[in-house]
Structure formats: C-alpha cells, structure tokens
Structure 1
Amino acid sequence: MSDPQPGSGTFLTFEGIDGSGKSTQASLLADRLRANGRDVVLTREPGGSTGAEEIRRLVLEGDPDRWSAETEILLFTAARRDHMERTILPALAAGKVVICDRFADSTRMYQGLSRGDLRGLVDALHDLMIGREPDITVLIDMDPEIGLQRALARQGSEERFEDFGPELQQQMRAGFLALAHDFADRFRVIDGNRPVEAVADDVFAIAAPALT
C-alpha cells in the first residue's frame, strides 16, 4: 500500500487492554487538539469506514468461538485495509492528525497470540496488505482486574472478547508491554491507574511534540 505524499499528517494510535480507558483518552486528545486549531480525524478499529464497520459487526458480536483465529485475522486485515484506503490515508495526505482507537497491535495480541501462536501470520499479512505503522502508539497500561471490571460494567458493550475472561486480560497486558519493548521507537507507555485528567495531561505531553 502506498503512503501519503510528503507533507502528510500525523498518525497516532491508542492501545491497551479492555477497560483501560484508551477510548476516553483518544477522544480527550482529539478534543484538546481541535481546541488548539488542529484538524483531527478520530476513528477506531475494527471499523472507521463503511466496509470496516460491517466487518466489525461480524467479528465482535455473537459467540466468542464463532470464528477461528485464522479467520479473524483475515477479517481484521480486510477491515483495516478498507479503513486505510477510505479514511486514514486520505486524512494523512491532507495533513490531518489521525487518532485511532486500536490498530494492528491489537490484532497482534488478540488474534496473533491469545488464540494461538499466529503472530507471524498477523505480521506477514500486515506487511503485505497494510504496510504502515503509526507514528506514535500510546499504550494505556492498566491493572487487568480493574480493566475487566470496567469493561464488563459498560452498558451495551459489543466487545465479545471480554467474554474470554481475566486470564486473557493478564495475557494481553503482558503482551502489550512486550510490544512496547519491541517497538520502543513508537510506543509510549502511560500509567492508566490514575485519574482521567492526569492521564490526559500525560497523553497530550507525548502527542504535542510530534505535531510541531
């Protein structure tokens, strides 16, 4: 996949276990940047484009064992490709700031590791069909038990992966921290076990220098 032309915008992603507050922090950062005059596109994965939202409903609703891990990887990659083509790359080419709630790192964790040793397949498909990493990835690190309690308390949640239980949360936290080590050039880890405002201030302090 070809990248935007020179002079493109900035691509930031938020990652973390379920209930970590990443979605809240992504929204707060978008609001703060807009208040400072930046043109921001706030999006999410899976989803963020018409086709990707249709795939989102396929993978996040229904029985947790509805799809094999391999099928999920193909579905998520297809959703991400459409998202990139329709939303992310055009916005970056126009010089906008793109803030995405989850991206490929979540697929590396949830499908690539938690449901089998398929990380290599995830990375191979990513290289072939996506070919781009974020400029900055903010990892909101959260106590797994607290995160799961928050996730399960959400009304009308469609995140079927929460049904996998506390063991998945523990595994995912360890996996995300390992990714932060492997991709230290783009990952920034923030302690999410604090008031929302304190976390938001740290997020802005990380994002602002990349936007100058």
Structure 2
Amino acid sequence: MTGTRRKDTRQRILDTALELFLERGYDQTSLREIAERLDVTKAALYYHFKSKEDIVGGLGDEAGRRIDELIAWGREQPATLATRRELLSRLNAALAENAPTLRFLQENQAALRRMQSAETFKQRMHGLGELLSDPDWPLVRRVRSVSALFTVYFGTFAMEELDDGTTAEEKRAALLQVAGEQLLAADQEG
C-alpha cells in the first residue's frame, strides 16, 4: 500500500507541476507554489523531487516511456511498410496521450537545454528514425522516410497552433495520412 501511495503522490506532484508550468511558465513557478497547490509541505515535495529540474525529468520520463516502448516494439517487428505505418500510428497516439507534457517540453526548450532530457530526446528520435529507414537505401528514400517521422512529430505542434475549426483528432489524422504517403513514396523508390 505504501508503494502505491508513494507512486500516487509522485504522480500528483507531476500533474500539478505540469499544470502550473503550463499556466505560469517554468521559470515563474517555484517549488513552494507547487507544494501550496498540492497542500503539502515543501519537505513532502522534496521527498519525491529535490528540484524543478527533477520534476521536469520525471515529466520527460513519463512521456519518454511510451516512446521507448514504441522503439522496443518496432525492433521486434519485420522491417516492412506495414510496420513503419503502424509505428507512426502508435507514435501519433502516444503524442496525443502526452500532449500537455510534450507541449510544455516543446515550449520551454531554452530553459531545458541544460538538462539531460534534450540528449535523451535526440536519442529517441534517432531510434525512431532507424526504424523507419535503412542506411543502405538511397539518400532520397531515407529522407522521405525520416520526413514521415517529422511530419507526425513536429507537425503535431505546428498544427496545434492552427485555429481553423478542425479538431485535434482531424489534424492528427491528416498528419498521419501525409506521413503514410511519404512512407509509400519512399517504399516505391526501393
């Protein structure tokens, strides 16, 4: 029971910190404010996280866990067009599930550069790129395949800013469609 309660408290801290970071900004949010919002002492907060950087690391770990699972899944699959499409579909779902955290991380890159999370992000993107491409393919085919990844990932943030009446689901579906077309074009070049 104690382990579950500790995990629940840790998750409450992460959720509350993210809420405050999105409302006020990372630099404008203090550990004291997070503790106050949670109605706990700073000592209770320090038991789980020693700093705001630790909290951000926890947020990044939460979002990154899904990507790591996706990479592990992809490595177990045959290197086919169907697998590459499914990989992007699963990535699209993971991005939707972790949208608030990923938006925070995307919007606060300057403040977060000094943390290890930037290098971990780079490694994850590299891992996804390796699953979508093959080093033996011609350059244009590799570019098309990796472009499909960037269409889904970075397109999610770009499309979020568009206020054109389409829903988030419609935008994600359109991004996935375009990424699929890129994968198909790359596959036809082989």
The higher radius of gyration belongs to 2
Higher strand share: 1
Task: Give the TM-score taking structure 1 as reference length.
Answer: 0.36
Task: Give the TM-score taking structure 2 as reference length.
Answer: 0.39
Higher helix share: 2
**Higher relative CO (CA 8 A, sep ≥ 6), structure 1 or 2?**
1
